[in-house]
């Protein structure tokens, strides 16, 4: 019986290494993936613990890398970032710490996002342009104060 359990542990560990070799996972997402494959096997928590000990799983590092990746492709506010990180299964304290350490300047990000969007709004009347810009920035998770400061900078005749 002991050999069978050990064999199960080794299979799960091998599969986890295979998954981690393809891309990064949070502890939660990897656990879910392993549970799907191995049907809630009791060795899964041991495997996760071992991967943490070996530093193959680090939710905080994952969060920081995820933030960098998101902000480089699609600037968004802290609120939306936090939501996306929580969807990845990260705990609130890890999310908050990662966002704080990233030193995100929401105003700069909002201006960058809006500047990319302005070309598609150029032919609209000023009132519509402002309204669409407001909705766009809100959908990107920026705070109201940041949105209004950014919208004030929209040129009157774009």
Taking the domains of the chain in order of start, what are their residue ranges? 2-57, 60-101, 106-151
pTM for the full model? 0.82
Distance CA 47, CA 13 (A): 6
Average per-residue pLDDT in the chain?
90
Distance CA 49, CA 46 (A): 5
Q: Are 122 and 114 in contact (CB under 8 A)?
A: no
Distance CA 47, CA 11 (A): 10
Written as six digits, the tokens of 145 are 């104060």
Segments in 39-125 forming alpha helices (H): 44-53, 59-73, 78-87, 92-101, 106-121
Distance CA 36, CA 78 (A): 32
Q: Report pLDDT for 20.
A: 96
pLDDT digits (tens, 9 = 90+) for 75-101: 999 999 999 999 999 999 999 999 999
Examine the pLDDT at 106 and tell me if it is beyond 50: yes
pLDDT digits (tens, 9 = 90+) for 25-67: 999 999 999 999 998 788 999 999 999 999 999 999 999 999 9
CATH class of 2-57: mainly alpha
């Amino acid at each position: 019986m002991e050999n069978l359990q050990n064999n199960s542990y080794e299979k799960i560990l091998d599969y986890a290494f295979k998954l981690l070799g393809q891309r990064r996972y949070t502890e939660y997402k990897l656990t879910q993936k392993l549970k799907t494959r191995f049907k809630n096997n009791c060795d899964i928590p041991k495997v996760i613990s071992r991967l943490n000990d070996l530093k193959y799983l680090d939710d905080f590092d994952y969060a920081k890398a995820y933030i960098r990746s998101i902000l480089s492709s699609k600037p968004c506010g802290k609120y939306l970032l936090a939501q996306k990180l929580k969807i990845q299964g990260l705990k609130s304290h890890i999310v908050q710490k990662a966002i704080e350490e990233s030193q995100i300047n929401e105003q700069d990000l909002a201006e960058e996002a809006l500047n990319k969007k302005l070309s598609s709004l150029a032919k609209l009347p000023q009132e519509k342009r402002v309204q669409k810009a407001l909705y766009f920035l809100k959908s990107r998770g920026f705070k109201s104060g940041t949105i209004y400061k950014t919208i004030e900078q929209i040129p009157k005749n774009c």
